[in-house]
Chain A
Amino acid sequence: MQLHQKAFRAMASQCEIKLWSADVQQAELVLQAAVAEVQRIEAKYSRYQAQSVISQINANAGISDTIVDAETAALLDFAQQCFEQSDGLFDITSGVLRRAWDFKSHRLPSQADIDALLPLIGWHKLNWQRPNVRLRLAGMQLDFGGFGKEYAADRAASVLIAAGMMHALVNLGGDVRVTGPQSDGTPWCIGIQHPRHADQAIASIAIGSGALATSGDYERYMVINGKRYAHLLNPHTGYPIACAQSASVQAPLCVLAGALASCALLQGAGGLEFLRAQEFAFLWVDDCGLAISS
């Protein structure tokens, strides 16, 4: 048994896959197949690729229905659950706020900019009747960024499992899914990034099965006049949510762990109570940097 690994960039993140296998050639083939699966999902759901399913739906906004395949349909159903279970805070139509919030510009948007976008936000303004989906208003946008990376981690794991790789780890920019423990039975040790020191771990968690996903306020943000504006935007107000620094959740599936971590952060101060009410292990780093675990 040997550890084989592959590092690559996908979905704007640093990614890696590690697996234990006795067969060098087979390990290489399986690694390639798993990376290809991540790339497939990226191409299919990227906002930046004109041919992607998301770009087609967005291009048809206010004009016509788009017929989607079963995979996209399942992701739309999942998005609907995210919306309902977060009391409307996790909304895949809120990405349009990106037009007003440019975190690289270090400039706050005007209220008028935000007011102009708010009418374009709302899961309820989407017609979703399998297999037809339509954004009712021109200018609306769908964005699977809230769970695309986590879904890709689970899918890459399914490729590994189908190939019999039961001792493998997929890490897509900190969203981690494993297919089982390492070959000697010991769990994988996963560091959780410190929200304020990108090169440090604030904690490390051992996982032998399932997934670990983290959502943080540090992915995109700007500081203006000492106030931090993070990319987690309230779809009702259009403004960043005053939230904790990061939430990490351990769950059987990465897409579940990621959705719970995002829901928790979007709850603002209530996020900690939200996590405590779920049945999964978590690490919560509050707005002062205090780490609280389950």
Chain B
Amino acid sequence: MAVTERRPSKALFAAALTLPGLAATLVQAQAASVPTQTSLELQYSHYQEFQPRAERMEISAPSLFVIAPVGDQWAANLFLTTDSMSGASPLYHDTLSGASGESINDFRKAGSINFTRYFERAALRFGGAYSSEDDYIGRSLNVGASFDSEDRNTSYDFAIAVNRDGIDSTNGVAEQETRRGEQLSVGLTRVLSPSSIIAASLGFAHGSGYFNDPYKPLDKRPDGRDETTLLVRYNKYYNNADAALRLSYRYYQDSWALDAHTIDAAWEQNLAHDFILTPSLRYYSQGKADFYVDPPFGVGFSPNRNYSADARLSAFGAWDLGLKLGLPEFAGWRAEIKFEFYRQKNSWALGSGPAELAPFSARTWQLGLRHSF
């Protein structure tokens, strides 16, 4: 009998899923499930940049995340973080080293709190966030809702948010400037099979106010920015390998004519003794904003026109390689260590690249500790 050549389990699984009510018992995409435990996560990450002939910037960021059930139908989550930056802001152009190699020491603190109310097949949430640093204050409020279909194989999500920010640069260029924004997003998550799931979301954001970089000379940008983001994620679990594949694609486009593609892939491998190893790879490519100009300034520069030499608005591509190791639970705690290496180059952008700017690298270490009780 040639049974070893076949996979009867596939046909049987498909038939079993047509039995009344059984497919719904496998659903993973539930909007409405109240957390039953309090979980606390501490994270520390350290980021360091490298660039030829430049001082490097370092960022250390400890953060705390708590999610806790409140009564039977509510959950609260709280997020707090601080960044401390030291060194020099990245040097994007050799030719502008004097202008942007300015040494900085900045400290940012940020926090958010969100509440979720769970219903039988729906969840409603609202919350706010605040962040503050020397020259910038960010405030935002958000409301969202998600709904499960009757078979719980599909869930829909809607969210709106508003932000009101204040900018006061330390060099006096920007004084009591403001920026405001409104965001809207819709999402759909669908269980494709007991081991695979797909999610897509579309987001729109409208911003107005002060967008210039006060620390960059002659930087002048439009006073509004409309952004559209499409995100598609696909996760599949492979029983044979005891591993999960996570893929995502993100498309971004804004009214500054800047567009970007991000492709992310991660392979989450369960190992013996409860270790989890996750290698990941990301590719990012963006086109330049329409008012971006490669330095040095060309002839014909006009002070009334939008203009920026900020390399973040130039066309570039970047690769990011990551490796994460999850350690087995110990005394109720789980730890995770992650290392990421990032490298960015103008010539890696999709399509033709502009003049080559100094390539730029960064590495990130991250240590996370999680406890549930």
Binding site for B on A (CB under 8 A): 1, 20, 22-23, 70-71, 74-75, 77-78, 80-82, 84-87, 151, 154-155, 157-158, 161, 164, 166-167, 177, 179, 183-185, 251-253, 255-256, 259-260, 263, 267, 270, 273-274, 276-280
Task: Select one of B18, B240, B372 contacting A77, CB under 8 A.
Answer: B18
Against A, the Cβ 8 Å flags (1 = close, 0 = not) of B18-44 are 111110111000000100110000000
Chain B residue contacts of A154, Cβ below 8 A = 19, 21-22, 25
Chain A residue contacts of B304, Cβ below 8 A = none
Cα–Cα distance between A270 and B3 once the two chains are bound (Å): 9
Cα–Cα distance between A270 and B14 once the two chains are bound (Å): 24
Whether the pair B240, A279 counts as a contact (CB closer than 8 A) is yes
Known: A87-B1, A274-B4; 6 extra A-B contacts, CB below 8 A, are: A20-B36, A71-B19, A252-B26, A255-B16, A256-B16, A273-B4
Give A250's nearest chain B residue, CB to CB: B239
Closest beta carbon of chain A to B246's beta carbon, Å:
19
Whether the pair A167, B22 counts as a contact (CB closer than 8 A) is no
Q: A184-B37, A279-B240 are in contact. Are A259 and B12 (CB under 8 A)?
A: yes
Whether the pair B4, A1 counts as a contact (CB closer than 8 A) is no
Whether the pair B24, A277 counts as a contact (CB closer than 8 A) is no
Main secondary structure of the interface of A (DSSP, over half): helix
Closest beta carbon of chain B to A99's beta carbon, Å:
28
Closest beta carbon of chain A to B354's beta carbon, Å:
49
Chain A residue contacts of B36, Cβ below 8 A = 1, 20, 166-167, 183
Cα–Cα distance between A20 and B34 once the two chains are bound (Å): 14
Task: Select one of A22, A81, A167 contacting B72, CB under 8 A.
Answer: A22
Cα–Cα distance between A1 and B37 once the two chains are bound (Å): 10
Whether the pair A185, B37 counts as a contact (CB closer than 8 A) is yes
Chain B residue contacts of A80, Cβ below 8 A = 15
Chain B residue contacts of A23, Cβ below 8 A = 72
Closest beta carbon of chain A to B33's beta carbon, Å:
6
Against A, the Cβ 8 Å flags (1 = close, 0 = not) of B234-250 are 00000110000000000
Chain B residue contacts of A161, Cβ below 8 A = 24-25
Question: Closest 6 A-B residue pairs measured CB to CB?
Answer: A85-B8, A81-B15, A158-B21, A278-B9, A279-B239, A78-B15
Cα–Cα distance between A20 and B15 once the two chains are bound (Å): 31
Which size bracket describes the interface of B in this complex?
20 to 34
Chain A residue contacts of B5, Cβ below 8 A = 277
Chain A residue contacts of B14, Cβ below 8 A = 81
Chain B residue contacts of A256, Cβ below 8 A = 9, 12-13, 16
Chain A residue contacts of B25, Cβ below 8 A = 154, 157-158, 161, 177, 179, 253
Chain A residue contacts of B372, Cβ below 8 A = 184-185
Closest beta carbon of chain A to B372's beta carbon, Å:
6
Chain A residue contacts of B7, Cβ below 8 A = 277-279
Whether the pair A280, B239 counts as a contact (CB closer than 8 A) is yes
Whether the pair A274, B21 counts as a contact (CB closer than 8 A) is no
Task: Select one of B13, B33, B37 contacting A183, CB under 8 A.
Answer: B37
- Residue pairs across A and B with Cβ atoms less than 8 A apart, 13 shown, are A74-B19, A78-B15, A81-B14, A82-B12, A85-B11, A155-B21, A158-B22, A164-B120, A177-B25, A253-B25, A270-B1, A274-B3, A277-B6
B353 CB–A CB distance under 8 Å = no
Chain B residue contacts of A252, Cβ below 8 A = 13, 26, 194
Whether the pair A255, B22 counts as a contact (CB closer than 8 A) is yes
Give A166's nearest chain B residue, CB to CB: B33
Give B332's nearest chain A residue, CB to CB: A184
Chain B residue contacts of A75, Cβ below 8 A = 19
Closest beta carbon of chain B to A235's beta carbon, Å:
15
Closest beta carbon of chain B to A265's beta carbon, Å:
13
Task: Select one of B3, B4, B18, B19 contacting A151, CB under 8 A.
Answer: B19
Cα–Cα distance between A171 and B13 once the two chains are bound (Å): 21
Whether the pair A74, B9 counts as a contact (CB closer than 8 A) is no
Give B34's nearest chain A residue, CB to CB: A164
